[in-house]
Amino acid sequence: MSTLAVQVRPEVVMVEITLSRVDAERLYPLDADKNGTVTPAEFDQAQAAMEELGITMVELSADGKLLPPDNPSVHLDESDAVHVDYQFATGSGSKLRLRSAVLWKLPPGHRQYLTIYDANRMMLGAWLLEQKHDSVDLPDVSGPHGFIAFLKLGIEHIVRGYDHLVFLLGLLIVGGRFAAAVKIITAFTVAHSITLALATLDLIRIPSALVEPLIAASIIYVGVENIFRRDLERRWMLAFVFGLIHGCGFATVLRELGVGSGGSSVVIPLLSFNLGVEAGQVVIACVVLPIIWKLKDRPSWQPRYVPACSVLIAIAGTYWLIDRLIGIVRS
């Protein structure tokens, strides 16, 4: 994931591309001695090449003719993110179209969060660019709107977020009544919506190095509780507590896209991403719950298969916990 901020001024368009160091090094080797860090001397040595490369990352055309980029600069911030800035002289009265050319130089699936501002830093629109949809008209906002893009991103995140799905399955597998299932899903939804909003707005900031192991630990806890506890009527409380942690995990996606930073609007991305997560979650619950309720009618389900599935859930959580702790140590 990367970000592209565009400011449309009279006769000038300013662009700023922000790449993680990992993505920047896919384009040019910044870490010359390959020791895992980029020193100021190494970055100074690569700066001219990065500026030359940087001006090819975004193309701007006026009435179908490419405009030459000008005044490039590159810098590395405290978080090792690489920022590339330059501008285009556009004249007046032209139909402008912007294309993110760097997407084709990065792995498939890489996305770029584009925000467009006017001269007063008022936001004109937000989009998610990808290889198949890598361009947009300026300052026209009639293209693919950010709401749909972030809605799809939320659905994809929950569908591919296997740890979140396993946690939700662990909560529901005991096969309680319909009312109990509704309470669990509602509590989980409300909780992660709260922390998703707070973390995206930067009102709380919990490092992902802490959040991700806690998510794994929550999966272990639910799996173990399924085995040793039978009174699960108040499980919705557990869903709420751990949902707060999972919400911080969801927020990582929006923060990596730069949502909420640099004065960018968060309303559309936050609302649509959260709706996407909820839509995916509800669809999955609607598929899984009838199966669980059907299996519950079998005498062997509760004493034999629920504990067996819960052991697998706890094992999955343990694997994720160890893997994430090892990743933290290595980093």
Furthest C-alpha separation in the chain = 77
How is the chain split into domains, by residue range?
2-144, 149-330
Residue with tokens 């590395």: 76
* pLDDT band, residue 120 (cuts 50/70/90): low
Rounded CA separation 29/21 (Å)? 10
Residue type, 160: R
* Banded model confidence at residue 294, pLDDT cuts 50, 70, 90: confident
For residue 291, what are its two tokens? 């199966």
Query: Length of the chain in residues, anyone?
Result: 331
Which CA distances in Å does 213 have to 18, 167, 196, 246, 320?
27, 13, 17, 11, 7
Of 117-131, 170-184, 248-262, the poorest mean pLDDT is in: 248-262
232: nearest Cα among 174, 153, 162, 157: 174
What's at 49, amino acid-wise?
A: A
Count of alpha carbons within 13 Å of 231, Cβ hemisphere only? 1
What global pTM score does this model have?
A: 0.61
Per the DSSP assignment, residues forming a β-bridge with 136 are: 98
Is the preceding peptide bond at 139 cis, omega within 30 degrees of 0? yes
What's the CA angle centered on 169, arms 293 and 161, to 5 degrees?
145
3-state secondary structure of 207: coil
The reported pLDDT for the residue numbered 184 is: 87
The predicted pLDDT at position 255 comes to: 67
Per residue in 20-74, pLDDT (tens digit) is: 888 888 888 877 777 777 777 888 888 888 888 889 999 999 888 999 999 989 8
Kindly report the three-state secondary structure assignment for every residue of 235-263: HHHHHHHHHHHHHHHHHHHHHHCCCCHHH
Beta carbons within 10 angstroms of residue 11's beta carbon: 12
Average pLDDT over the chain, rounded to an integer: 83
- The angle subtended at Cα 244 by Cα 243 and Cα 248, nearest 5°, is 110
Q: Residue 145's pLDDT band (boundaries 50, 70, 90)?
A: very low
C-alpha–C-alpha distance, residues 165 and 228, integer Å = 22
Task: Reply yes or no on whether the pLDDT at 265 is more than 60.
Answer: no
- CA dist 28 and 40 (Å) reads 16
Is the pLDDT score of 217 beyond 90? yes
Encoded amino acid at 59, one letter: E
Report whether pLDDT(146) > 60: no
